[in-house]
Structure 1
């Protein structure tokens, strides 16, 4: 066989190999492009399969949350399932795979621009000047109605009490109610470590929530009481001002209404 024939055969073989490689590259590229166009729920299923999940298993169904649930709801469901299946290795492994699949899918959606990024994630580099300062956190409408109903109910009790028997005891009781409501809200929005899996950390976190509830709510109550009760009395006595009798008779009602409104607003729209 001549050298020309050998070189021609080599060139044909090289061109064929190049065409095969190009075809494989195009197939892989189209495959990845198609995967990038999938919806987040399909991404979750893909990550679940990659993590070794069961065929057709839905991570959202495993955790018992809706596909549009936020990160906090997913974390709470994950902690709840861990506590429920403690000691059952297979179920715990399934819960772990489902949780990791949802996290990976959320990260993939954010990187591709398809998923909304939470404000806390977008501005995670912001420095909190004081960890005790109230931060915006609106409550559901039903909780807002309950908060304002409790405080305004206490103000109504003060109103129907005879003027010569009115005190600030009902107002103080309303403040203690708001302390409890604030604590319950912190439990929902800041669940903290699992009490079964890590009891010391959970106890420490719960004590911090309790201290924050008392500090923020009672501090706001004292400040409002100072502005609406003690400060006006100070100016009246020092400056010798004359005020109508009905104002002095209904002072506790004004104070109770103002304190109740401020505390209900604090608990309803802040944390």
Structure 2
């Protein structure tokens, strides 16, 4: 059950109980700061409120937080060089699968994509991306297990340039427990890519699992500190009734959601539509 349905059910035939409403908003993963703002705004109305009043304010405030993603479409660079997209995320979020789906989406839109298997400290990630690359018909540059991630990205950039690719998507580190090493690895990748294009990487995305709630916010905050994230891919939004964490991440960290995963199929990744998101998922 989504947030709006839960509010209607809880307060359909009775006045608003502030404690109950606070519980619903926090339970929907909107985060404490935004919950407090919504409650303060409702209280400031100074009158008896019904469920419809609460819904209207929640919808208005959430829409005001979520930006339109026009101009965030990962469009090809005017220079003709490959647009470099680094993708991070902890194991289990669907990172590698989402990268394959993103490559497939961009290919369907008429772009030429090259993949780089730079999460080299997880053998399964290399194998999984290799499988997906074959399945969707996209070239993959890889190295052996525990190889140098920056060298993979360098080789992949050269391959993307030679092939006239519009996009290079790099599967990067999927761990957080040694943050200093993660930061150094990512900085080295950026320095290496910068030798080819001073503006690369152009996008730094994180993949988060919608069903993990506040953990997704914590992961985004940690990676943001290391990577200065520019966008979010949310997975497992198929019928979970979750999604509030996308609002919390935007509100607290300023990271916009660019894509949402709604199923297991290769075509179940879609560009984020905030109106649809609010109506369908909240």
Pick the TM interval, shorter chain.
under 0.3
TM-score, scaled to structure 2: 0.18
- Bigger share in helix: 1
Bigger Rg, which one: 1
Query: Structure 1 or 2: larger strand share?
Result: 2
